[in-house]
Structure 1
C-alpha cells in the first residue's frame, strides 16, 4: 500500500462515519436518536380512538426478550421501547380495515435505572413528522402522560402474545 493509499484509507475512516450519520436527527431531551429502530421486532400494536392513530410498539433485543419472557415490571436496564405512530386510515380495497396513514412521530423510552433515576428509570425521547424533528419539551411532558401507569413501570403497552414454535 502506498503512502497515498494509506492516507486515503485513513481519510475514509474519518469521513465516512460522519457522512453515514449526516442525516441522523438531532437529540431529543439530550437523548441520541436510536439509529436502526426500523429493524426492531414488534412487541404490540394499538389503536387510539381518542386521536385516531395506530401504533406499532417495537423493542430492541433486550426489550423483546423481556416482553416474551414476561419480565416487564420492571423492564430490564438496556431495554428500549419504540412507539411509531400514524394517523388511522382505511384501505381503498378493504374499508373495514384500519391501517397506517400519515406518519405522526416516533417516540422512545430508554431504560437505565441509574442514568435516569430522576425520571423513574427512563429516558424519554420523541421525534416528530417525516423530518424527525426533536420534541424537546422535557421528560416531564412524557411522565405526565404516563403517570396512570407508574405502577406498571411507567409503560402502557401490554406485550402481545407471539406463539413460540419449536
Structure 2
C-alpha cells in the first residue's frame, strides 16, 4: 500500500473510530469548535473534487479536496454522504502572475497567493445531527479558528438536496 493510501486509511479509520481531533465536537455544539486542535493528517494528498473562485469580500481561489469516502460518494452519486466523509476547502488570495503574463503577452493569468484558511466538513450523522449530519471547522495559519457550527450550517441549508454541499464533483 502506498504511503498516501495508508494515510487516507488512517484518516478514514480515525474518523470512523472517533480518534481524530474532530471527535471532541459534540452533536449539539453550536459554540466555537476551538476544541479541534489539528487538521487531518495527509489532507493535502486527498483527491481533487473541484476548484472555485469567490469574488466580493472573500475574493479568493479554492481547491476542494475529499478523503476517499467523500470522493467515492461524489463519484457514485451517493446521498446522503456516508459517515466518515470529509471535504476540505483550501483557499488562497489570488494574485496576477507576472511571469505567466509575460509569456502570454498580456495580463490574464492569476495564481495562488497568500493562503487565507482551510475548512473541513466532517460527516457524522449522529454526532452532528443538529447541523445536517456535518461538523464544520476552520483553520487559519494552521490553528483552529473561532467558528459557530450553527452559522456555518445556516449557509449550507439552501443546498440541502445535495446533502448541504455547495461543491459539485468536477468531471
TM bucket by the smaller chain?
0.7 to 0.9
Structure 2 residue matching 1:93: 3-state secondary structure: helix
Shift of 1:66: 1.3
Report the count of equivalent residues.
133
- Tell me the TM-score normalized by structure 1: 0.73
| 2:92 is the counterpart of 1:65 | no
Bigger radius of gyration: 1
User: For 1:98-126, what per-residue CA distance to the aligned partner results, in whole angstroms no more than 9, with x for missing partners?
Assistant: 32111000000000111211221001110
Aligned to 1:142: 152
Please name the residue that 1:112 is paired with.
124
* 1:29-72 C-alpha deviation (Å, 9 max, x unpaired): 1345312111111011001122220000000111111112222x
User: In structure 2, how many angstroms separate the alpha carbons of the residues matched to 1:34 and 1:126?
Assistant: 12
Q: CA deviation at 1:149?
A: 1.5
Cα separation, 2, equivalents of 1:126 and 1:41: 19
Residue number in structure 2 paired with 1:99: 111
SS of the equivalent of 2:165 reads: coil
Higher relative contact order (CA 8 A, sep 6+): 2
Which portions of structure 1, spanning 4 or more consecutive aligned residues, are displaced by more than 3 angstroms? none
Find the residue that maps to 2:151 and give its secondary structure: helix
> Given the two structures, how large is their TM-score scaled by the length of structure 2?
0.71
Could you tell which deviates more after superposition, 97-106 or 86-95? 86-95
CA drift at 1:148:
2.1
Determine the C-alpha separation between the residues in 2 that align with 1:147 and 1:67.
19
- Rounded to whole Å, the distance in 2 between the matches of 1:79 and 1:107 is 14
The DSSP-based 3-state class of the residue aligned with 2:83 is coil
Gapped regions of structure 2 (runs ≥ 5): 1-20, 25-31, 102-107
